[in-house]
Amino acid sequence: MIRFEQVGKRYPNGHTGLVDVSFRVHRGEMVFVTGHSGAGKSTLLKLILALEKADAGKILLAGQDISEITHAQIPFLRRQIGVVFQNHRLLPDRSVFENVALPLQILGLSREQMTKRVHAALDKVGLLRKEKCLPQDISTGEQQRVGIARAVVHKPALLLADEPTGNLDPRLAAEIMGLFEDFHRAGTTVLVASHDLALIARMRHRLLTLQRGRIIGDGESG
Amino acid sequence: MSDKPQKIGQEAAAARPAKRGAKRDQHGWRETLRAYGRSHKASLHDSVGRLWAQPISTLLTWLVMGIALSLPMGMGLLLDSLEKLGGSWQRAAQISVFLELRLPEAESQALSLRIADMAHVADVELISREQALAEFQQQSGLGEALKELPENPLPALIVVTPKEVERAGLEALLSELQGLPGVAQAQLDLAWVERLAAMLSLGQRFVFGIALLLIAGLLLVVGNTIRLAIEGRRQEIEVIKLVGGTDGYVRRPFLYIGVLYGFGAGLIAWVLLAFGLSWLNDAVVRLAGLYQSDFALIGVPVEEGLLLMLGSVMLGYCGAWLAVGRHLRELEAQVQ
């Protein structure tokens, strides 16, 4: 599903993002990426999303070389990926329903299809009854769950999450991780970047550890 | 919702343009077109909603653009009217043939018929000495004083309207008329026609220059308005880009806003011109009447009005396109 081959990334300010990183994530696998702040976790996710371009190596997503795609192809690549952000990036002037429907609107789905899918996604994260609320009217944990619903509403093959539990208390963080496990069990490939080792340790999944842009560990968490 | 995730590319392909030469089944194309149509409908709906939500600011933008558009268009229409006035060149180029004072009336009439038969003459009008005096008395306000004259000092006059207005031809005709027996003097005044043509040409250049400046100004107005709209939706645009929105998808609602601004401005400009010219026309008709002219301003012909609307919509579209294009590049860098 994801294949990094000797990928390197250095930022114009001289900061090292990744150095000679190689790994593979198989379809349906759930993988945690961990490491200290600045270790390269976010860079890795940004490269998959084509938000950044690698300076060296190859990144293959389902066989497609991301480093070779054109600017016009990038949106179509991103439509195959669901992304969850630490700060959830919800639109404050849109309701929960409208926030979740955004990727479907982009795909041009009909109102009926959209309603069906959004309701299903909100049901999955337990927020069906809050579809008319604005993001600021719900709790932080609920906001993150809306972010997850938005990430999965178009049924992406790959779900990426960048520090999805960073702003949450341990109970909510565990709930959110539980949701990721649900999607993983349903067959979605999940890649979660997190520095919350205690939380990761409670789950038995593959763990990639980054330090100063290099992979220093590839094993199982817990 | 089925829990099964799509295979890579499965669903996204619905909204992805096919590569050239790729075979797509008919259903796929229909669905792609439907999705495209729905996306446009949603963008238009969103743009109308956003303009509606800020009625004062929308109205002000329409007014600024409408007034700016109506100025060059109004000046253009005034020039058209003046051109129509100057367009009666034949009347303007009439030759006045003054007959000898003592020429008998029968000979005057014979001369008039002879001139009417000439190849380059379209029309002649004989004004007898009595008619000339009567007109002069009426127009000069010296009626009573003229009555005291022992005899009519005015000669008979033949007003010759040439078939074509071309300087060399007119001068040849003038000299031919001048040589006719019984003709005291023939007069042709082309100077004012030439002056009017020169002034119209200057006016046209002036209007063209003003129009160019105002068009540039309008592009800036639309561009700036769209820039503010983009700033207000920066976060939304970033998220749209992150979840797979194309540049076209991001650009679309702003282009609709530009088009709607253009449409409203065009409509306002049309209404302003129609009322403005009608209001001005009353005074122009009164003034022209004092000069025995039936000159009146041309209103806004429907075709010109429609062209104004089209031009205005295009201006809005282009202004929005330029503004969004520039800001999209900036945003692209910031999303990263």
Look at residues A60, A55, A77 and name the one whose alpha carbon lies nearest to residue A25.
Answer: A60
Question: With an 8 Å Cβ cutoff, are A186 and B4 in contact?
Answer: yes
- Count CA atoms within 13 Å of residue B238 on its CB side: 16
**Pair B240, B301: CB distance under 8 Å:** no
pLDDT at position A192: 94
pLDDT at position A215: 92
Helices (H) then strands (E): counts for chain B: 11, 4
Out of A32-41, B87-96, B244-253, least confident range: B87-96
Q: Is A160 on the interface with B (CB under 8 A)?
A: no
Residues of chain B contacting residue A120, judged by C-beta atoms under 8 Å apart: 1
The predicted model gives A161-180 an average pLDDT of 86
> How many CB pairs (< 8 A) connect A and B?
117
pLDDT at position B333: 55
The predicted model gives A80-97 an average pLDDT of 91
Residues of B with CB under 8 A from a CB of A: 1-12, 14-16, 34-39, 42, 235-236, 238-247, 249, 335-336
Question: With an 8 Å Cβ cutoff, are A106 and B239 in contact?
Answer: no
**pLDDT tens digits, one per residue of A120-143:** 999 989 999 999 999 999 998 899
pLDDT at position A104: 93
Domain limits of chain B? 42-86+196-335, 94-187
Residue B17, pLDDT above cutoff 50 = no
Question: With an 8 Å Cβ cutoff, are A108 and B35 in contact?
Answer: yes
Higher pLDDT, A150 or A204: A150
Residue B94, pLDDT above cutoff 90 = no
pLDDT at position B229: 86
Out of A13-27, A81-95, B90-104, least confident range: B90-104
pLDDT at position B27: 64
Chain mean pLDDT for chain B: 82
**pLDDT tens digits, one per residue of B264-313:** 999 999 999 999 988 888 888 888 777 767 777 777 889 989 999 999 99
B178: part of which helix (H) or strand (E)?
helix B167-178
Residue B12, pLDDT above cutoff 70 = no
The predicted model gives A39-47 an average pLDDT of 92
Distance from CA of A154 to the nearest CA of B (A): 8
pLDDT at position B11: 43
pLDDT at position B151: 82
Look at residues B38, B180, B45 and name the one whose alpha carbon lies nearest to residue B121.
Answer: B180
Residue B19, pLDDT above cutoff 50 = no
Q: Copy the structure tokens of residue A117.
A: 């899918």
Chain mean pLDDT for chain A: 90
Query: Position of tokens 């190689």?
Result: A22
What count of other Cβ atoms lies within 10 Å of the Cβ of residue B336? Answer: 12
pLDDT at position A5: 93
Out of B80-84, B211-215, B296-300, least confident range: B80-84
Query: Would you call A112 exposed, middle or buried from its count of C-beta atoms within 10 A (0-12, 13-18, 19+)?
Result: exposed
The amino acid present at B133, given as its one-letter code, is L
pLDDT at position B87: 52
**Residue A210 has what DSSP assignment?**
E
Q: What is the ipTM of this complex?
A: 0.89
- The model's pTM is 0.71
Look at residues B120, B108, B84 and name the one whose alpha carbon lies nearest to residue B295.
Answer: B84
The predicted model gives A72-96 an average pLDDT of 91
Question: With an 8 Å Cβ cutoff, are B4 and A154 in contact?
Answer: no
Look at residues A132, A127, A136 and name the one whose alpha carbon lies nearest to residue A91.
Answer: A136
**pLDDT tens digits, one per residue of B136-166:** 877 776 767 777 777 888 899 999 988 876 7
pLDDT at position B176: 92
What count of other Cβ atoms lies within 10 Å of the Cβ of residue A165? Answer: 25
Higher pLDDT, B334 or B144: B144
Residue B209, pLDDT above cutoff 80 = yes
Query: Position of tokens 């202004």?
Result: B319
pLDDT at position B325: 84
Q: In sequence order, which residues have a C-beta less than 8 Å from that of residue B200 and are 6 or more positions away?
A: B79, B82, B83, B86
Q: pLDDT-derived band of residue B193, with 50, 70 and 90 as boundaries?
A: low
Distance from CA of B318 to the nearest CA of A (A): 22
The predicted model gives B115-138 an average pLDDT of 88
Select B94-187's CATH number: 3.20.20.140, 3.30.70.3040, 3.30.2350.10, 2.30.40.10. Answer: 3.30.70.3040
Out of A131-135, A157-161, A190-194, B169-173, least confident range: B169-173
Residues of chain B contacting residue A61, judged by C-beta atoms under 8 Å apart: 8
**Pair B232, A91: CB distance under 8 Å:** no
Residue B334, pLDDT above cutoff 60 = no
Residue B196, pLDDT above cutoff 80 = no
pLDDT at position A43: 92
Three-class DSSP category at B71: helix
Higher pLDDT, A127 or A168: A127
